[in-house]
Amino acid sequence: MTASVAGKDPVLVLGAMSDIGRAIAQAYAAEGHPLHLAARHPERLETEAEDIRIRHNVAVATHAFDVLDLEGHGPFLDGLDPAPSVVVCVVGLLGDQQRSVEDPAAAELVMRTNYIGPSLILEAAAKRLERRGQGVLIGVSSVAGDRGRGSNYVYGSAKAGFTAYLSGLRARLCKSGLRVITVKPGFVDTRMTEGMDLPKRLTAQPEEVAKAVIAAHRQGRDVIYVRPIWRMIMTAIRVLPEPVFKRVKI
């Protein structure tokens, strides 16, 4: 990569083809950060990369990356030049709850894609950043991980695992100068939620998520909900006693 703005940290976006990933990449580029975009299909990423170069005049590189290929995580990170000092993981898979309940393989894929893969790639990135003594790791988790609900607990439990992992990682790294940010977007108007009938007041646009991520990064926040109303909703959901909660259809 060439022509990166002096002083701006290179940012790696994992899952850069997703609507939220795209928006986060655009937002960092708008602030002048050079980018590494990673996704399973790098040939399609090139269009995204060129779009960002034209709009923001920053250096953008594209990479093939599969979060499920655990063996490949290390070599992938070591191959990035310049090494990123901000790593954002947007990888996720909603899956279909009914299918996940019936088919263990489907459930396993949801668990690996939302929990194991994202946790371990950020762990691997943390090890590399620790050597340099600075960096920011950002994990896009979900409000679904705040409590297991009958309607989507396979996805929710995987996100819960990821949220817990991020929390632990943050605690372990807090003295090392590295920061970890957990992002819980709530409903977002993306491909993943297309066709669902979502309440407008609770549904963020991908650009809002990106703005919230950048703000959290600048302000040194640890855990953010994109729309503040979600913090209240999830607090209420968390404090319901289990005998009541189990009967609530949500």
In terms of CB distance, is 43 or 242 closer to other proteins? Answer: 43
Please choose, from the candidates 45, 158, 43, 8, the residue with its C-alpha nearest in 3D space to the C-alpha of residue 97: 158
Return the range that interacts with other proteins (CB under 8 A); candidates 8-16, 42-50, 65-73, 92-100: 42-50
Binding to other proteins (CB under 8 A) within 185-204 occurs at 191, 194
Is residue 41 near other proteins by the rule CB under 8 A? no
Q: How far is CA 172 from CA 126, 129, 148, 189, 200, in A?
A: 10, 13, 26, 34, 38
Three-state DSSP state, 26: helix
Kindly state the smallest distance separating residue 101's Cβ from other proteins, in Å: 27
The answer to the question of residue 236 lying near other proteins (CB under 8 A) is no
Task: Please state, as a whole number, how many other Cβ atoms lie within 10 Å of the Cβ of residue 212.
Answer: 22
Nearer residue to other proteins within complex by CB, 19 or 208: 19
DSSP 150-212: TTTHHHHHHHHHHHHHHHHHHHHHTTTTEEEEEEE--EE-SGGGTT----GGGEE-HHHHHHH
Spell out the residues 6+ positions from residue 133 whose beta carbon is closer than 8 angstroms to its own. 176, 177, 178
Of the candidate spans 45-53, 74-82, 114-122, 237-245, the one that interacts with other proteins by CB under 8 A turns out to be 45-53
- Site track 146-165 with other proteins (rule: CB under 8 A), x = hit: --------------------
When binding is defined by CB under 8 A, the residue of 9, 19, 146, 208 that contacts other proteins is 19
Residues belonging to the active site? 155
Q: Is 132 in the site for other proteins (CB under 8 A)?
A: no
Residues of span 47-106 touching other proteins by CB under 8 A: 47-48, 50-51, 54-55
The candidate with the shortest Cα–Cα distance to 138, out of 76, 182, 175, is 182
CB of 57 to other proteins, least distance (A): 9
All residues at 6 or more sequence positions from 143 whose CB lies less than 8 Å from its CB, including other chains: 184, 185, 186, 225, 230, 233, 234
Secondary structure class of 90 (helix, strand, coil): coil
Least distance from C-beta 205 to other proteins, angstroms? 10
- Kindly list the residues in this chain that would bind other proteins in the complex (CB under 8 A): 19, 44, 47-48, 50-51, 54-55, 191, 194
